[in-house]
């Protein structure tokens, strides 16, 4: 939760600074960017709640745990992000459609400085949160990291719009808000798509499955790998494996092989919450190794 606490504190300070800079400098793009940063505070609270609930241990009503609550948090985050983007884009379109350059105005230098600071801070927050998300394999925290990246990109758009407006093209300031809307919408869609994939038991990626195959086939006593099925359950994965072993082995010996495969998969792949192994008898021909 330390990462989320840092995120909340930084976003509150940054959004207040950008909003003040936008008002003082008469920059609609910077005000839009400030609203985007402010939405990060609310979204981080959602992530904190989702991660906390997801970490609850299994119980009688939820024997497989609560990991999918992270997916729910990510979906809520995507919806909030999308709504924020639509609001920002709509305001930019309204100003452009009005054709009133007086209403748009020329933004001051402070808005430029605020945009540069925002790009630096939000890009740092992206890498900081991304590192923590990868460490604990959290989809919700990774979604929050991408929220920071979308904010950094929106600040790049804000900077371009403000700079263009100061060069004598005031329409570029609200136009930047529309561009920011597109960036935010793309980030929201990516977060939503990833969360939905995990909600519907999508398989692990092919690269991970191939690595699992290699680990299983390297275990002593494994003659063949007949079946391997994986399914994502929030940030965790469940694996079902069927291996072939010498039919002349005792039940105890077959069990030890299956236990070795089970432990090896869970050891080499921390994201695997449980690996189930079934042993099929294989007729060993005389002279076969």
Per-residue tens of pLDDT for the chain, all 289 residues: 677 788 788 888 888 888 898 888 877 778 877 877 777 777 777 777 776 776 777 767 666 667 777 778 778 878 887 887 887 788 778 877 876 555 555 777 888 888 899 899 989 988 998 888 888 777 777 777 877 887 787 788 778 878 887 887 777 777 877 877 887 788 788 878 878 877 777 788 899 999 999 999 999 999 999 999 998 877 788 999 999 999 999 999 999 999 999 999 999 998 898 999 999 999 876 554 4
Q: Where in the chain is the domain with CATH 3.30.70.1350?
A: 206-282
What values do phi and psi take at 62, rounded to 5?
-130, 70
Q: Taking a C-beta distance cutoff of 8 angstroms, is the pair 116, 152 a contact?
A: no
Q: Taking a C-beta distance cutoff of 8 angstroms, is the pair 216, 259 a contact?
A: no
Concatenated DSSP letters of the chain: -HHHHHHHHHHHHHHHHHHHHHHHHT-HHHHHHHHHHHHHHHHHHHHHHHHHHHTSPP-SS-TT-STTHHHHHHHHHHHHHHHHHHHHHHHHHHHHHH--HHHH----HHHHHHHHHHHHHHHHHHHHHHHHHHHHT-HHHHHHHHHHHHHHHHHHHHHHHHHHHHTT-TTHHHHHHHHHHHHHHHHHHHHHHHHHHHHTTPPPPHHHHHHHHHHHHTSTT--EEEEEEEEEETTEEEEEEEEEEETTS-HHHHHHHHHHHHHHHHHH-TTEEEEEEEEEEE---TT--
Q: Taking a C-beta distance cutoff of 8 angstroms, is the pair 214, 93 a contact?
A: no
Tokens of 250: 């005792």
Q: How many of the other CB atoms lie within 10 Å of CB of 65? A: 18
Q: Where in the chain is the domain with CATH 1.20.1510.10?
A: 2-199
pTM of the model: 0.59
Cβ neighbours of residue 171 closer than 8 Å, sequence gap 6 or more = 96, 101, 104, 165
The neighbouring-strand residues paired with 230 are 239
Any idea which architecture 206-282 has in CATH? 2-Layer Sandwich (3.30)
Cβ neighbours of residue 202 closer than 8 Å, sequence gap 6 or more = 231, 232
**Locus of tokens 């136009």:** 175
CATH number belonging to domain 2-199 = 1.20.1510.10
């Amino acid at each position: 939760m330390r990462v989320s606490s840092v995120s909340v504190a930084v976003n509150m300070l940054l959004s207040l600074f950008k909003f003040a800079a936008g008002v003082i400098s008469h920059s609609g793009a910077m005000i839009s960017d400030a609203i985007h940063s402010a939405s990060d505070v609310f979204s981080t609270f959602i992530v904190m709640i989702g991660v906390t609930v997801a970490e609850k241990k299994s119980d009688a009503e939820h024997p497989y745990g609560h990991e999918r609550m992270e997916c729910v948090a990510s979906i809520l985050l995507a919806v909030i992000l999308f709504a924020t983007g639509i609001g920002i884009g709509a305001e930019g379109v309204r100003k452009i459609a009005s054709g009133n350059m007086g209403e748009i105005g020329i933004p001051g230098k402070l808005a430029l400085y605020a945009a540069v600071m925002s790009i630096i801070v939000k890009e740092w927050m992206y890498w900081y949160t991304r590192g923590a998300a990868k460490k604990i394999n959290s989809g919700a925290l990774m979604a929050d990291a991408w929220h920071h990246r979308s904010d950094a990109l929106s600040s790049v758009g804000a900077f371009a719009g403000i700079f263009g407006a100061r060069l004598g093209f005031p329409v570029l300031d609200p136009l930047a808000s529309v561009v920011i809307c597109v960036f935010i919408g793309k980030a929201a869609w990516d977060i939503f798509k990833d969360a939905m994939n995990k909600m519907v038991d999508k398989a692990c990626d092919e690269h991970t499955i191939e690595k699992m195959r290699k680990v299983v086939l390297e275990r002593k006593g494994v003659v063949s790998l007949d079946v391997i099925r994986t399914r994502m359950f929030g940030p965790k994965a469940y694996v079902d494996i069927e291996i072939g072993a010498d039919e002349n082995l005792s039940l105890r010996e077959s069990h030890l092989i299956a236990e070795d495969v089970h432990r090896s998969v869970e050891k080499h792949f921390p994201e695997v919450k449980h690996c189930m192994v079934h042993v099929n008898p294989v007729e060993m021909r005389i002279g076969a190794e």
